Chain A
């Protein structure tokens, strides 16, 4: 049974999130799929579109578009995307900086530097399937009005 004060607390926290999202750093998350079409010059054009259907084994592209809507530069910007449990990481999307990845949500680095501990105590090199979270850091402050995007490829388990 939920008491009335708890409902009030939930409403208050929802409101807090909404107001925080209105802050100077705006990030729009989207899940897209590749659409291939023949271009006039005979090449194949790949565009990212909203999926009509996604089934296990399909490649999906996670895109984080960010923008500083404020009047001041923002320093030490970090975007952190814990992967949905049903999603297996593959790689950075072409054109996007590679994220640091984590297999435990604590230690981040390039995949080659990470190891996974097995139940018997031994460790092995991490594979893309082990990744549970990805993270990007902006090396320099994000100037007022500027924007960019990060993207990675993944597969639906």
Chain B
């Protein structure tokens, strides 16, 4: 008999709203905004027309980046190299290159390379897909995306500890606190200013140890009051945790912290579509306002005890959280 606890917190512990605008239709950095007003009036009974002075401002470069993993769930590293795909998008309103970094915490896998997926097919082709020189991407046009592949191989000594792959992309012009100004560094001779993303994006991917263990897939959807999917205040996020089991286990339990910046929506917890009460009572689930999460930290979270689970089965837990 196996016993297991599934914790969904990996890579999703902190809620990160999608603050950045897409660059589509945004004004390119360096664009002059030129304004002149026209005037008409009658003087001594004669119609006259003229114009105001002309005022010009130069659009600054807003430094923003997005990095997302193409896919979900823990990655299992087998004997063969595994390619984990990512999409890097230049959310800037100017052309920008990005510094890439990738690392794997000690464990089941080591990083062989982070390469640019030249044809974007999600497969590693050593003949075409190369690590960029000095870890810098080529200049990307506003809104342009490229595909990246993190190539992982098993550790030579067969480590079995769960590892985490972390990939980071950072704007070359500058990054850090939103609003930081880089005078004269923008396209077209204007200034560059760090945008809402901080011009820095990080993605973490849990790396599993073997194909036999259970896998927990987490996904989310956002619904705002206006019906949109904008991650704004009071928008409701529905989290879906799907646990897939290959073998029969007992004592299976799903635990997930409520992401920072959100509050649990009371009464929203369900297991396989059936409601579960929030209290620690007879049913399988509960919401704990001061629970102990994986890693021992104290934070609000939900827990669902699955108990005995049949082989080759899947169970789905859902709950809702509201953005504060």
Residues on A lying within 8 angstroms of B by beta carbon are 17, 20-21, 23-25, 27-31, 51-57, 60, 62, 64, 66, 70, 72, 74-82, 84, 86-87, 142, 156-157
Contacts and interface: CB of A to CB of B under 8 A. Distances in A.
Given A20-B48, A76-B40, 18 more contacts: A20-B49, A21-B53, A27-B37, A29-B52, A31-B55, A51-B57, A52-B181, A54-B57, A55-B59, A55-B60, A56-B93, A57-B26, A66-B39, A74-B42, A76-B42, A76-B47, A77-B39, A78-B41
Nearest to A51: B57
A72 B43 contact: yes
Contact of A75 (B21, B34, B41, B53): B41
B93 A74 contact: no
B38 A29 contact: no
A23 B59 contact: no
Interface in B54-112: 54-55, 57, 59-62, 93
A145 to B, nearest CB: 14
Q: Which 4 pairs across A and B sit closest by C-beta, in order of nearness? A: A55-B62, A56-B26, A20-B50, A27-B52
A51 B59 CA distance: 10
Contact of B48 (A23, A86, A157): A23
Contacts of B191: 52-53
A70 B43 CA distance: 10
> A interface, by DSSP: helix, strand, loop or mixed?
strand
> B interface, by DSSP: helix, strand, loop or mixed?
strand
Contact of B53 (A29, A62, A86): A29
A148 to B, nearest CB: 13
A57 B26 CA distance: 8
Given A56-B26, A77-B41, A17 B51 contact: yes
Contacts of B35: 29, 31, 62, 81, 84, 87
8 contacts: A21-B51, A25-B48, A27-B51, A54-B60, A55-B61, A56-B93, A81-B35, A86-B27
A56 B42 contact: no
Contact of B33 (A23, A74, A87): A87
B25 A157 contact: yes
A146 to B, nearest CB: 13
Interface string B189-208: 01101010000000000000
Contacts of B57: 31, 51, 54, 60
A157 B26 contact: yes
